[in-house]
């Protein structure tokens, strides 16, 4: 026989295990907040924009083919900027504070859409160092591109700058805690229903019918000793009252 769960049973299960759901949600949210605020290292981001300039022909007009060529060469510049030829020099300019290998892991390079603008992005625990690395990388690349590519078509469009109160891009404690809250809530509800499913105790007449496959003829109500004593006291009081009434 196919078993169905009524809405009432769902609410009863949630109410019965509400303490577990709340506990799990609070624990996960708290742990997420502690880890995000106190254990994870804040990471700051800084970017420098480079312009791959289009050249002009003898008539002083823009060559469309040259523009297309400049856009296509950006993909080559992406590789060159992260090559040892550039990063070794950047490391030297920074006084050896970062190795070429570490620079390669924190620097990302990519075009701004389909434009001729190339963006160098750096992620670092120190916002000042992030901006310094981005600007130094751009300057080194601009100075070396002539020797490497025999062209001089790179201009620093927008150097990286440091705001008054820089904010880290990660971690995001509020977002992490919100995610942990939802996960904790879902895990708590799921665990509550799992425990209810694994609970084989007989709770009502329907459970007896399912277990024995027999109809229930009646049920015996549990009477506490306290209730029996209270009932006896009430009966004695009524009997005493009737006796006094008859005697008078």
Instruction: Answer for the pair 66, 55: CB distance below 8 angstroms, yes or no.
Output: yes
53-57, 148-152, 236-240: which range is least confident on average? Answer: 53-57
**Alpha-carbon span 27 to 23, nearest angstrom:** 6
From first CA to last CA, the distance across the chain in angstroms is: 67
Give the per-residue pLDDT at 2.
Answer: 46
Is the previous residue joined to 171 through a cis bond, with omega within 30 degrees of 0? yes
23: how many CB neighbours lie within 10 A of its CB? 13
When pLDDT is averaged across residues 53-79 and rounded to a whole number, the result is: 66
For the segment 87-106, what is each residue's pLDDT rounded down to a tens digit?
999 999 999 999 999 999 99
Distant-in-sequence, close-in-space partners of 196: CB < 8 Å, separation ≥ 6: 13, 16, 17
Angle between helical axes of 18-34 and 173-198 (0-180°, round to 10)? 150
**Alpha-carbon span 97 to 172, nearest angstrom:** 27
Give the per-residue pLDDT at 247.
Answer: 54
pLDDT > 70? residue 245: no
Q: Output DSSP code: residue 62.
A: B
Percent of the chain with pLDDT over 90: 54
Q: E strands within the chain?
A: 44-52, 107-111, 117-124, 154-158
Percent of the chain with pLDDT over 70: 79
Token pair listed for 197:
């499913």
107-111 and 117-124 beta bridge pairing: antiparallel
For the segment 124-171, what is each residue's pLDDT rounded down to a tens digit?
999 999 999 999 999 999 999 988 888 888 999 999 999 888 999 999
Token pair listed for 66:
């040259």
CA 67 to each of CA 58, 132, 151, 248: distance values in angstroms, whole numbers, following the listed order? 16, 30, 14, 121
Total residue length of the chain:
248
């Amino acid at each position: 026989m196919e078993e169905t769960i009524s809405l009432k049973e769902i609410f009863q299960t949630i109410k019965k295990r509400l303490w577990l759901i709340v506990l799990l949600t609070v624990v996960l949210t708290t742990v997420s907040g502690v880890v995000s605020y106190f254990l994870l290292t804040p990471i700051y981001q800084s970017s420098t924009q480079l312009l791959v300039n289009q050249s002009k022909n003898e008539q002083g007009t823009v060559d469309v083919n040259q523009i297309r060529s400049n856009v296509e060469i950006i993909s080559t510049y992406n590789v060159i900027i992260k090559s040892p030829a550039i990063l070794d020099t950047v490391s030297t300019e920074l006084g050896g504070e970062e190795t070429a290998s570490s620079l390669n892991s924190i620097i990302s390079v990519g075009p701004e859409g389909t434009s001729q603008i190339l963006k160098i992005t750096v992620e670092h625990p120190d916002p000042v160092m992030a901006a310094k690395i981005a600007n130094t990388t751009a300057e080194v690349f601009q100075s070396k591109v002539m020797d490497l590519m025999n062209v001089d078509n790179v201009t620093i469009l927008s150097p990286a700058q440091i705001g008054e109160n820089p904010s880290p891009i990660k971690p995001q404690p509020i977002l992490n805690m919100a995610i942990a809250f939802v996960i904790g809530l879902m895990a708590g509800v799921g665990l509550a229903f799992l425990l209810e499913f694994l609970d084989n105790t007989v709770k009502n007449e329907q459970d007896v019918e399912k277990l024995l496959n027999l109809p229930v003829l009646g049920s015996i109500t549990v009477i506490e000793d306290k209730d029996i004593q209270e009932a006896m006291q009430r009966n004695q009081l009524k009997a005493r009252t009737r006796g006094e009434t008859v005697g008078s």
